[in-house]
Amino acid sequence: MTTSRLWHGFTDMSTVRHRAPFTITRGQGAYLFDAEGRRYLDASAGLWFCNVGHGRAEIAEAAQRQMSRMAAYSTFGDYTNEPAEQLAARLAELSPTDGASVFFTSGGSDSIDSAIKLVRRFWLALGLPDRRVILSRENAYHGGHIGSTGIGGIALDREGFGELITDTARVAWDSAEDLEKTITSLGAERVAAFVMEPVIAAGGCLFPPQGYLQAVAEICRRHGIVLIADEVVTGFGRSGDWFASRRFGVVPDIIVCAKGLTSGYMPLGALIVGDRIAQPFYDGTAGPFFHGYTYSGHAGAAAVALATMDIIEREALAQNALSLETRLPDLMSPLTDHPMVQEVRTGQGLMAAVELNPQALRVTPGLPMAVVASMREAGVLTRSLVGGQIQFSPPLIIGNSQATEFVDAVLTGLNTIP
Ligand code: PLP
């Protein structure tokens, strides 16, 4: 075996370096193929991103057309490019707020850190520099940068780094009352923003309790707190609409997106910023937002995003996610009676998780990983989430048969555990 020099994220390299590598060489639709030509269902859409599925030649052609014109160029100052302009206009149009502006980044973590910096500059510009505290939720995952890790709600992700960011606080993931209480105890005049994933993804596929999102939006509005919806996972059809915020009738001040924006064909992130926040930067009172990235507004990535959005629209993929949402409980019902399954979690859109029984997890702590490994043997790729849940978030192009393929593989996995 040759020694790989590739250092894998979130991975214990002391174990992986001794294993034969598992190399994915290509994909078509909802399926991937390994170096030996074996076919696998991509039951997690990679890391929740491949909404339109693999092997989309038209996306590659859009990139090729744009990249054969130029590499990228800066969008600082008055420089711009056509794909970035078109994409910004299209995202602003989809935003639930009127007159939104779009700030581009290279991914989800970039976008969350940008949003944190933006709201702190916003409050400073309004003469309220004490509004600095960023509130977030337990179990939330917002990315791997200093800021996004620091506000994350998964303790393991923060361990060993010391204090990453000051002036933060976390609230219970499922309680609007806890948000209200925390704001009252801190003093609303100290709180800059509340960041939340409409559906918590990596933290366990946790759907919001009935009325939760509307309640937290109302609390933020009443206290003047900036509401940031992290739609890195829930955007671009995954939740049954372009954005979960639209689906739930919530109007955030900032929507953060990435992943499904390009379906993973190119790294790209964006902040869709409502007029209330953008205005002081546009009318000159706030001065410049002294922040940006080399690849903010990357022309090739923007062309890829436009081609991806064309597919989502033309093939009505958000509607397909909506229609699967109603069928998922039935399709996944063979799992509910399995003694090792605690709950099959379904909710809005094409996101689900199989929560394993806590007793089974106590007896066999490595159970989720063993199930996932056995599913791979059975031709289905997915992963386990922090609480041991098995993730189901395939490309939005699937039908009933792929959901059944996933269910059968989970059952095979569970039944091969001694
Ligand atoms: N926000 C959410 C909800 C995510 O799930 C992720 C990544 O999984 C991020 C932010 C960070 O995105 P990226 O990995 O593109 O930096």
Helix (H, G, I), strand (E, B) or coil at 82: helix
Q: DSSP per residue over 158-180, as a string?
A: HTTS----SSEEEE-TT-HHHHH
Atom 10 of ligand 1, nearest CA residue = 142
Q: Does a structural domain hold residue 7?
A: no
Measure 266 CA to ligand 1 centroid, in angstroms: 14
Contact call for residues 84 and 300 (beta carbons, < 8 A):
no
Which of 44, 142, 205, 262 best tests ligand 1's pocket when mutated (most atoms within 8 Å of CB)? 142
Q: Does a structural domain hold residue 377?
A: yes
Say if residue 262 is in the same domain as residue 216: yes
Per the structure, how many domains does the chain have? 2
- Longest distance between any two alpha carbons in the chain, whole Å: 67
Measure 233 CA to ligand 1 centroid, in angstroms: 7
Does the C-beta of 197 come closer than 6 Å to ligand 1? Answer: yes
Measure 277 CA to ligand 1 centroid, in angstroms: 23
The reported pLDDT for the residue numbered 1 is 53
Give pLDDT < 50 ranges for the chain. Answer: none
* 54's tokens: 């693999």
Say if residue 89 is in the same domain as residue 107: yes
Atom 8 of ligand 1, nearest CA residue = 143
* 141's tokens: 């995952």
CA 196 vs CA 47, 151, 208, 273, 296: distances in Å: 19, 10, 10, 15, 23
**H-state helical runs in 207-291:** 212-223, 244-248, 275-282
The reported pLDDT for the residue numbered 417 is 80
Which of 110, 112, 232, 261 best tests ligand 1's pocket when mutated (most atoms within 8 Å of CB)? 232
Does the C-beta of 201 come closer than 6 Å to ligand 1? Answer: yes
CB atoms within 10 A of CB 272: 28
The reported pLDDT for the residue numbered 156 is 95
ipTM for the assembly: 0.99
Does the C-beta of 112 come closer than 6 Å to ligand 1? Answer: yes
Domain CATH for 326: 3.90.1150.10
The reported pLDDT for the residue numbered 24 is 97
Q: Distance between CA 325 and CA 317 in Å, rounded?
A: 12
Domain that holds residue 256: 61-314
The reported pLDDT for the residue numbered 107 is 98
Which residue(s) pair with 133 in the sheet? 191
Question: pLDDT per residue over 340-393, tens digit each?
Answer: 999 999 999 999 999 999 999 999 989 999 999 999 999 999 999 998 999 999
Enter the pTM of the model. 0.98
Q: Distance between CA 354 and CA 392 in Å, rounded?
A: 8
Measure 221 CA to ligand 1 centroid, in angstroms: 26
Say if residue 257 is in the same domain as residue 305: yes
Measure 110 CA to ligand 1 centroid, in angstroms: 9
Domain final residue, candidates 314, 342, 364: 314
Helix (H, G, I), strand (E, B) or coil at 154: coil
Say if residue 80 is in the same domain as residue 115: yes
Q: Does a structural domain hold residue 5?
A: no
Measure 293 CA to ligand 1 centroid, in angstroms: 17
The reported pLDDT for the residue numbered 101 is 98
